[in-house]
Amino acid sequence: MNAISSNHDKQIAVACLLAILSFFVLVGIDQATKYWIDRNMELYSSIPVIRDVFEIHYIRNEGAAWGIFAQKQLWFCIIAILFLIGGSIVYLRCVQMNSFKALRAALVLVLSGAMGNLIDRVRFHYVIDFLYVKAIRFPVFNVADCYVTVGCFLMILLCIFYYPEQELDKLFQIQKSGRGE
């Protein structure tokens, strides 16, 4: 029994280490792109990538998605921190169950994106956005936003089409300690 427990502990450690490394790499990519934009472009300037379709357009977003709720940085930071804590708890629960590998990958994406934008909000009181799909006049966004969007989309698909409802129910069941019962 001790060897099984030790093997499970090693699996948890490896899974957590991989998630932490992935998290830092993803946040690093996000921050590096924002740093490059901030250092090499003038605010509100554009670089066409695909004429009339896609461009790099440097803006500073003081709000949430699409600039809504501008000047509410404290609330965004509090919500992001709570989300990072909650997401980390769900991730650890998935690892402890030795299950939900695809969901764990999606969580790492979402948490990395949340952290990337949180860093901007704490440092600058705005988020650096620069990816602009001009063809559909989509709001300007950044790499962290891509992580969050792709991660959330994957989580929705996984929860609807991949994981059985009973399996997901187990993930969110509260564990009883077994003491005094």
Q: Which residues are catalytic?
A: 129, 145
Are 141 and 85 in contact by the 8 Å Cβ rule? The answer is no
How many of the other CB atoms lie within 10 Å of CB of 146? 15
Bridge partners, residue 24, by sequence:
none
Beta strands in 40-110 (DSSP E): 46-50, 54-61
In contact, 139 and 67? CB cutoff 8 Å: yes
Give me the phi and psi of 70, to 5 degrees please.
Answer: -60, 150
> How many CA atoms are closer than 13 Å to the CA of 49, on its beta-carbon side?
11
Collapsing DSSP to helix, strand or coil, 178 comes out as coil
